[in-house]
Structure 1
Amino acid sequence: MQTPTIAESRPEAVPPSQPSSKEQAQATGQWHNFNIIRRNGAVVGFEPSKIAIAMTKAFLAVNGGQGAASARVRELVDQLTSQVVNALVRNRPSGGTFHIEEIQDQVELALMRSGEHDVARAYVLYREKRSQERARAGQQEPAVEKSTLNVNDNGTMRPLDLAKLRTTILEASQGLPIEIDVDGILKETVKNLYDGIPVDEVYKSAILSARAMVETDPAYSQVTAGLLLHTIRKEVLGQEVAQSAMNEGYAEYFPRFIKAGIENSLLDNKLSQFDLPRLGRALKAERDLQFNYLGLQTLYDRYFLHVRGRRIELPQVFFMRVAMGLALNEIDREARAIEFYEILSSFDFMSSTPTLFNSGTLHSQLSSCYLTTVSDDLEGIYDAIKENALLAKYAGGLGNDWTPVRALRSHIKGTNGESQGVVPFLKVVNDTAVAVNQGGKRKGAVCAYLETWHLDIEEFLELRKNTGDERRRTHDMNTANWIPDLFMKRVMENGDWTLFSPSDVPDLHDKYGTEFEKAYTAYEAKTVSGELPLFKTIPAISLWRKMLSMLFETGHPWLTFKDPCNIRSPQQHVGVVHSSNLCTEITLNTNESEIAVCNLGSVNLAAHLKQDASGQYVLDHEKLQRTIDTAMRMLDNVIDINYYAVSKARNSNVRHRPVGMGVMGFQDCLHLMRVPFASDAAIEFSDRSMEAVCYYAYWASSKLALERGSYASFKGSLWDRGILPQDTLAMLREQRGGYVEIDDSSSLDWDTLRSHIQQNGMRNSNCIAIAPTATISNIVGVSPCIEPTYRNLYVKSNLSGEFTVVNDYLVRDLKERGLWDEVMVADLKYFDGSLARIDRIPADLRELYATAFEVDPQWVVECAARRQKWIDQAQSLNIFMAGVSGKKLDDTYKLAWLRGLKTTYYLRSSGATNAEKSTGRGGELNAVSNGSSSSAAAAAPAAALPEAEVVGAVCTMRPGDEGFEECEACQ
């Protein structure tokens, strides 16, 4: 195999802001800000074209000259080169320096991810061979004398202060449960330096050096965060400040921050009216040390305010800014701001991303979700699209109810023509979501809902397919089925199903339960008599199979259930729930004059466990109640402070005042309690923990009603009638005529709460909704919402870069049993973070740390069903499934309906078997798979879906994929 040398001369490339393709790179010749450090310490220019040469040589070694010259290989090399360049420059938009080993690591990773395992193996073996040859023959060029290195400090050359650098690394390593290899990090840092390097690059090198060790122990993630914190302090404060001096530093800087934010038109001038010295003194610098690297880097990249690219926020300043923005209308603003700051900065509770982005700013769009109903006329349709754009501008996620829009071939009275149906308008919605990208912070996000009886439903199911007429495809938006119970009963009973145009059956849109069933069967009778000529009758099971097949193939439409959302809605006296939201956890009424709005935030369940006398972890009810009392007040405040781009949203939100408090860290709790996810004990904890969260939330809202008054539409609601969410299960069972199988047990004093609500009212029409928490759980450093562990070791890629994620609970257990070593790290990499086939790990640990795709989805559904009993809205419930089959899909989603679930979210799937991997060298950061699938499933009837095929199209994003957090627009 020939030497795959990479990047040793000046390039011709795209500007750093557009490192998206090799062709652009070669065309524009602007890589002058990027350099490479060779193994002898020499610095040369970065030339991306050499990466393509190296990869081509690797293919030559495996496939020979003819194979490597094929069009497929040439195209693949171009794609992989772009991936490598993107990965390298993602965190260095203004330029930077790479070590030759870092580039080769990225090449190796790209080859592995592409499924070219033979080529990757050859590349790995070649690198190892060359390394051994250099070691044996002493051929490595003499290293630069590190002690004589100079650094460029704002144009001034000075010697590198190794002692100071070591002290900085040492400070970042304090208070951790293991002894950190400070000298190892220092040595690796210096290895990547060159004479005249900018001083900022020195600390970037230290961060990269510490980051590379995360896979050896999760504690290195906090070391890396500490080093990043040092660079953030230098950027914000203009000088290097030790963490130990930051209590005084925060107090001194905080008033200056408020002033700067107001002067630069970032912050609301009302913030200057607070007692800023008092708030500055309340900031707790030690809480900076809670962050892991992913959490802090995420805040830095996407949340901290900046002026002309320079950050002006530090972590505790950020949390206080958010708290102040939520306390603007409080009587004792300072006390409330400090109260809000306490639960945010301690990670007990975290507001949703729009609130974190915009609280205290001039555009305080703090709400997460908007639900709209689209009317059946051209003006209404385009008004709805305009409203989408306005609401998405400041980070709102959208759910659109398109059921009222007439179907294809329906008569249009005004033009005496035929309708083109729903689909062409959805293409416009799709393109609007792409165009309005929330200020570049994350992608615009919308989900379209359609009821299962709509005559366009079959074409709606195919919107996300990669084949067919592109004018009738929507690749950038989400879709969801809004399924009546009658359809599910027809599926269960093998009956027929009739499709209608809503222009012929307009009342079906607003009916549910037995009323819907009566009206629907009457319309079916009219098709028989000839009174309704436009319809289609098909076997219900055939449509169900197509729904599951499209879910398997494209990840859409999601399956959501209309009747439980309405029958169990506290607000059924004033309207109908016509859809859910972008992430399927919000179930609020909409109509042509009301846009439903929901404000989100999540309690960190893991922070509310305590050890009892026996050392077992149990729920800390006292702390949980305190946190929820404060959190509900914060969420209620959002309603009055929020910026509303559309008056219909303001009117609805002020009238009903819904909020959606959720949870995260459920899997962390199970790990602390030593409870496997796939167990009855996990189902019981799901039941009891959610009961407690809902109990305290409903109490908090009722107490707020005493202080502030009930929401305007309280009279006549289920709350007012003494009917609580768990009581509505009987109503659902009655309306369905059975088909509801769920445990009804409870453990808290609900009768006293019921009486309090009837006597004093509720401040909020709805209180609980479990959102995905994809990003805020990263900030806090816990597992997302209610999901099982994705993998025990993997690389997470997002807009902030690539991050090795290691299950620290597992590492702790393996250390206690003497099993944590380099071989274990290599095994975890090889088996994609799964313990199932690592024989030396005891069976109890394999069960406890089973990953999402190893937990049968029925356990996930059962846990969710126990939660849904208590929740007045819904939950974002991802279904993880290994080895997808038609029967497994059928069983899982039927079970979800039978257990009374209101909605489901993504189907996330993996193959039943793993592809063989090449053996890599231990220790590389990027040697871990990120979980991307290697092939897409072909369309197939659900009953015949393959049992052991790798599925790549089942969901558009996975927890390890770049942009995963950005597709979860709620949080």
Structure 2
Amino acid sequence: MSAAVTSLRCKFYRRKIMSEQTMELRRTALVLKRDGSVVRYDASKIRRALECAFLNDENGVAWVGGQSVLAQSQMAQIDELVEHVDSALAARPEKSVPIEEIQDLVEQALMHHSEHRIARGYVLYRAARKAARTDGTHRQRVTLRLADGASLSLHELEARVADCASKLPMVDIKRVAGAALRDLFDGAGAADVDRALLLAARSLMETDPEYDQLAAGLLLGSIQREVLGEVQDQRGARAAYRDHFPRYIAWAVDAGLLDARMKQFDCGRLAQRLCPERDGLFRYLGLQTLHDRYLQRDGERLLEHPQAMFMRIAMGLAIGEADREFWAIEFYQVLSRLEFLPSTPTLFNAGTARPQLASCFLTTVPDDLEGIYDAIKENALLAKYSGGLGNDWTPVRAMGSRIKGTNGKSQGVVPFLKVVNDTAVAVNQGGKRQGAVCAYLETWHMDIEQFLELRKNVGDDRRRTHDMNTAGWIPDLFMKRVLGNSNWTLFSPSDVPDLHDLYGKAFDEAYQRYERLAARGAIDSRTVAAKDLWRKMLTMLYETGHPWITFKDPCNVRNPQQHAGVVHSSNLCTEVTLNTCADEVAVCNLGSVNLVVHLVGGKYDFNCLRRTISVAMRMLDNSIDLNLYTVDKAGRANQLHRPVGLGMMGFQDVLHATGIAYGSPTAVAEADSLTEMFCYFAYWASTELAEERGRYGSYAGSLWDKGVLPRDTLDWLAAERGADLLDVDRESYAACNYGALLDRIRAFGMRNSNCVAIAPTATIANIAGVSPSNEPAFQQLYVKSNLFGEFTELNQYLVRDLKYHGLWDAAMVADLKHYDGSVANIERVPKHLKEIYRTAFETDPRWLVEAAARRQKWVDQAQSLTLYVVQPSGSQLDELYGLAWRRGLKTTYYLRVVQASGVDKSTGRAGGLNAVPVTQGIQCALGRGEDGGPCEACQ
């Protein structure tokens, strides 16, 4: 079938689907008018409004008999605009939509279709109508009758807003209350009132960060009313929290939602330590995320408020402690102050009847049919309770290889990966989020070229995996062949079984020996130009977001557990590097420290950071013993090696708070010294746990046992690879007493085989209200879109600095929208602020690699490193990923690029809910938007 025919069929079916959606929309959609009445949605009114907008514009309008008429092309354009609005409304979950939001969609449709001049006229018309309503021409009602028979006045709405805005001087209370009242109607319920106030606050979040705080406060009030009933003030909240918590725990245990051992705690004592005031630490997105996904529910009924959730998690992680209450309180303090947050599975499941707390699972798939399907079954069981998966598929024989049992030929790896893909979709992590898995394959595998094409949108769909991630597991020898413009030989692992477990010089020698055998015809092989294969990897990475580029030799040469096995892959998000084999499923429990809350006066409070890391390491270590293991191989491996992955988040916030540009030597030095101190504290904490609880089971023979710290292994990597091919700073810049650390390791050993892994922290960073992981700022003003809606994000540090210079006003907001959340082209912004507030795409990605290399020398596992490139060329990607290899990085993660089409803009009225660009112009894996997509499986 030709491409043209396929395209026409796609258009036909797309229009057919849109037509069916439109018909359903027009049958069911309701419009909330400003006077509180509810009417049926009428698309003809949208059409008429657009016709008037076009007619009011003199340019391009034909004149017949002295009257203006629209050209046929303009009528067709209006048809498309109406269809655009219909589609946007059909995608909304709610059936009743305020009239103002429909008008916002009309503006966005005009801008999307590049009708900027007409959109401007439409905006001015709306502004004039609003002014007319305000001066009395259209008088707004000031009292409504609610569903329960009570009345609601504008004054009462203002009082509710004022309660939440008592410490927010920039909030316009009357504006918020008035906007909420316009969206309400006679017969509205309490939930409708909460929603109207929240939407009114959300619509103003782009104008000042205080509206973000207001929205969070309004949402918190709604949560409190749902869980506790009406709470009058802070004193009342404290009493209500203390009264509710013991009853909640007892009821939830009896209902089978929580672990029966939770009743063994002195819940009254723990309730006394709840701190309602810490609810004020949340920003709106963080609190909304908790409400939508993390707070415990019984069906639709909300059971927890945020502080109860934190105490439930703390109790769940302290169940095995001798002094349960003491450690539950210690854990709660760290969690509720947002100093540290464990990853999503722990937040979901700690303290519950099924406490699957681990974030990541790594498996090796054997080369036999029973083993392959056992591995797929293990994927399903591991994913059921929110685990992210990394599968090593290298041992499976290539297409065309002989099958001894049947004397037939193998179909290779790809058909099985299709099954893995569909399993990940079917087992959607307990119904809470989409399943996520990443398949790894070494670059010498004969199926590597088909593997690279798995995410393409063209070709045989039976050989495509549209929902699964892929990564190349690349030995150093391949990179040397690329640099030398040499050939590369592909093998089936059934002919070269030992290559899978070899690395460094031992791999090089064995590989070259197999090449000589292949040259004599003793084994099957295929030869390609190494540079051509590398170019195809980078091309697929650009076009599809996959495969991620990861490096086998640094992961293994620097592996503290190399005496106990081989690292065959990383995990779903490329920060975990643990041994796997047929008998062991590697497991890692993750959590991240919030860096910015440990800043005091622009400097780190290292005593506080050390305490946080010590408590966090204890929580992660406890989770190993408390975890529900759905696969025996995972339980045995985790108990034997006890790896954890402590990470960090908020590095960009630290730079903003201290006035440092990400793309600078100062930021690289900050990444270096901070990570050194961070890792030092983590390793020290593991020795303290070993002193108290004993060393991990496979400690003997490890690099820890030999007195070799992660920083020392850079010399080993240089020796294996060649000193001229490893160029990374190896100096120490922090005041760490390594002699004392080594003395403690010699005396007590380590409790954990691995301690530090820097995860992407997509969701927990939202909860904490900070930038994810170590990533640069995406934009200064944008809309973050995820499964639960759209959320305006405004850089509070930029607003702080612009206010200091007297530059924060409505014009600045408009300029930020126009320039897609960038200050680079806004003339009145001072030059030094432009440097500090460069966005991710305005920062040379080489700075990200340099900072990551400095971090990697101290980290015993790896880090999730996303790279941002504006419309990259092949040579640019070759240079960038070549630099990552030369700097000794173990792994990289997403490549994000800006599409040539850019992002949509909206002229929306100031305060329009969706009046800033949504991050749809960014290419990333799975197409799930800027918020990190599948990396949520880790965080």
Shorter-chain TM-score bucket reads over 0.9
Matched residue SS, 2:433: coil
Q: Does 1:129 align with 2:125?
A: yes
Q: Does 1:26 align with 2:23?
A: yes
The offset of 1:125, in angstroms, is: 2.5
What is the match of residue 577 of structure 1? 567
Matched residue SS, 1:350: strand
Of 541, 547, 554, the match for 2:544 = 554
Name the CA distance, whole Å, in 1 between partners of 2:211 and 2:933. 23
Matched residue SS, 2:179: helix
The offset of 1:171, in angstroms, is: 1.8
Q: Does 1:398 align with 2:420?
A: no
Residues 38 and 99, structure 1, Cα contact 8 Å, conserved in 2: yes
Name the CA distance, whole Å, in 2 between partners of 1:201 and 1:736. 64
Name the CA distance, whole Å, in 1 between partners of 2:788 and 2:234. 24
CA 1:25 to 1:680, structure 2 compared with 1: closer, same or farther past 3 Å?
A: same
What is the match of residue 401 of structure 2? 410
The offset of 1:351, in angstroms, is: 0.7
Name the CA distance, whole Å, in 1 between partners of 2:920 and 2:640. 45
The offset of 1:280, in angstroms, is: 0.4
Superposed CA RMSD in Å reads 2.4
Residues 291 and 781, structure 1, Cα contact 8 Å, conserved in 2: yes
CA 1:319 to 1:590, structure 2 compared with 1: closer, same or farther past 3 Å?
A: same
Name the CA distance, whole Å, in 1 between partners of 2:564 and 2:220. 50
The offset of 1:109, in angstroms, is: 3.4
What is the match of residue 468 of structure 1? 459
Name the CA distance, whole Å, in 2 between partners of 1:954 and 1:804. 20
Which ranges in structure 1 are unaligned for 5 or more consecutive residues?
1-19, 612-616, 934-951
Give the 5 Å matches for 1:268-667. Answer: 268-532=259-523, 534-611=524-601, 617-667=602-652
Letter of the structure 2 residue corresponding to residue 36 of structure 1: V
Q: What is the total number of aligned residue pairs between the two structures?
A: 909
Structure 1 residues 718-747: Cα deviation after superposition (integer angstroms, max 9, x where no partner): 000000000000000000012111111113
CA 1:461 to 1:56, structure 2 compared with 1: closer, same or farther past 3 Å?
A: farther
What is the match of residue 936 of structure 2? 968
What is the match of residue 659 of structure 2? 674
CA 1:21 to 1:328, structure 2 compared with 1: closer, same or farther past 3 Å?
A: farther
CA 1:198 to 1:889, structure 2 compared with 1: closer, same or farther past 3 Å?
A: same
Structure 1 residues 4-23: Cα deviation after superposition (integer angstroms, max 9, x where no partner): xxxxxxxxxxxxxxxx9662
CA 1:679 to 1:130, structure 2 compared with 1: closer, same or farther past 3 Å?
A: closer
Structure 1 residues 545-571: Cα deviation after superposition (integer angstroms, max 9, x where no partner): 111111011010000000000000000
Matched residue SS, 1:601: strand
The offset of 1:493, in angstroms, is: 1.4
Q: Does 1:116 align with 2:113?
A: yes
Residues 450 and 457, structure 1, Cα contact 8 Å, conserved in 2: yes
The offset of 1:265, in angstroms, is: 1.8
Q: Does 1:787 align with 2:784?
A: no
Name the CA distance, whole Å, in 2 between partners of 1:47 and 1:194. 19
CA 1:357 to 1:124, structure 2 compared with 1: closer, same or farther past 3 Å?
A: farther
What is the match of residue 44 of structure 1? 39
The offset of 1:168, in angstroms, is: 2.2
Name the CA distance, whole Å, in 1 between partners of 2:644 and 2:927. 27
Q: Does 1:735 align with 2:720?
A: yes
What is the match of residue 102 of structure 2? 103
Matched residue SS, 2:470: strand
What is the match of residue 673 of structure 2? 688
Name the CA distance, whole Å, in 1 between partners of 2:634 and 2:918. 39
Structure 2 length-normalised TM: 0.93
What is the match of residue 160 of structure 1? 152
The offset of 1:521, in angstroms, is: 0.3
Of 224, 227, 234, the match for 1:236 = 227
Letter of the structure 2 residue corresponding to residue 577 of structure 1: V
What is the match of residue 879 of structure 1? 867
The offset of 1:373, in angstroms, is: 0.4
Name the CA distance, whole Å, in 1 between partners of 2:411 and 2:401. 8
Name the CA distance, whole Å, in 1 between partners of 2:851 and 2:199. 40
Name the CA distance, whole Å, in 2 between partners of 1:635 and 1:133. 58
The offset of 1:200, in angstroms, is: 2.0
Name the CA distance, whole Å, in 2 between partners of 1:106 and 1:822. 21
What is the match of residue 89 of structure 2? 84
CA 1:873 to 1:812, structure 2 compared with 1: closer, same or farther past 3 Å?
A: same
Matched residue SS, 1:447: strand
Name the CA distance, whole Å, in 1 between partners of 2:286 and 2:279. 11
Matched residue SS, 2:546: coil
The offset of 1:540, in angstroms, is: 0.7
Of 863, 872, 889, the match for 1:901 = 889
CA 1:210 to 1:764, structure 2 compared with 1: closer, same or farther past 3 Å?
A: same
Q: Which moved more, 1:158-167 or 1:747-756?
A: 158-167
Matched residue SS, 1:216: coil
The offset of 1:196, in angstroms, is: 2.2
Letter of the structure 2 residue corresponding to residue 101 of structure 1: E
Name the CA distance, whole Å, in 1 between partners of 2:699 and 2:883. 34
CA 1:444 to 1:30, structure 2 compared with 1: closer, same or farther past 3 Å?
A: farther
Name the CA distance, whole Å, in 1 between partners of 2:711 and 2:635. 30
Structure 1 residues 193-229: Cα deviation after superposition (integer angstroms, max 9, x where no partner): 2222212211211111111111110111111110111
The offset of 1:957, in angstroms, is: 4.0
Name the CA distance, whole Å, in 1 between partners of 2:19 and 2:142. 35
Q: Which moved more, 1:40-49 or 1:635-644?
A: 40-49
Of 798, 815, 819, the match for 1:827 = 815
Matched residue SS, 2:338: coil
Q: Which moved more, 1:907-916 or 1:558-567?
A: 907-916
Name the CA distance, whole Å, in 2 between partners of 1:137 and 1:621. 57
Which ranges in structure 2 are unaligned for 5 or more consecutive residues?
1-16, 62-69
Structure 1 residues 503-531: Cα deviation after superposition (integer angstroms, max 9, x where no partner): 11010000000000000000000111111
Q: Does 1:709 align with 2:703?
A: no
The offset of 1:117, in angstroms, is: 2.0
Residues 641 and 696, structure 2, Cα contact 8 Å, conserved in 1: yes
Matched residue SS, 1:221: helix
Residues 836 and 850, structure 1, Cα contact 8 Å, conserved in 2: yes
CA 1:134 to 1:454, structure 2 compared with 1: closer, same or farther past 3 Å?
A: closer
Matched residue SS, 2:562: coil
Structure 1 length-normalised TM: 0.90
The offset of 1:328, in angstroms, is: 0.5
Q: Identity percentage over the alignment?
A: 56
Letter of the structure 1 residue corresponding to residue 146 of structure 2: V
The offset of 1:26, in angstroms, is: 2.9
Letter of the structure 2 residue corresponding to residue 84 of structure 1: L
Name the CA distance, whole Å, in 1 between partners of 2:866 and 2:679. 21
Name the CA distance, whole Å, in 1 between partners of 2:316 and 2:47. 50
Name the CA distance, whole Å, in 2 between partners of 1:333 and 1:647. 28
What is the match of residue 183 of structure 1? 174
Residues 695 and 751, structure 2, Cα contact 8 Å, conserved in 1: yes
Name the CA distance, whole Å, in 2 between partners of 1:685 and 1:37. 52
The offset of 1:240, in angstroms, is: 4.6
Of 799, 819, 824, the match for 1:811 = 799
Structure 1 residues 227-284: Cα deviation after superposition (integer angstroms, max 9, x where no partner): 1111111111233543442111111110111122123221111111100010000000
What is the match of residue 171 of structure 1? 163
Residues 215 and 805, structure 1, Cα contact 8 Å, conserved in 2: yes
Residues 366 and 643, structure 1, Cα contact 8 Å, conserved in 2: yes
Matched residue SS, 2:792: strand
Name the CA distance, whole Å, in 1 between partners of 2:224 and 2:27. 31
Q: Which moved more, 1:754-763 or 1:128-137?
A: 128-137
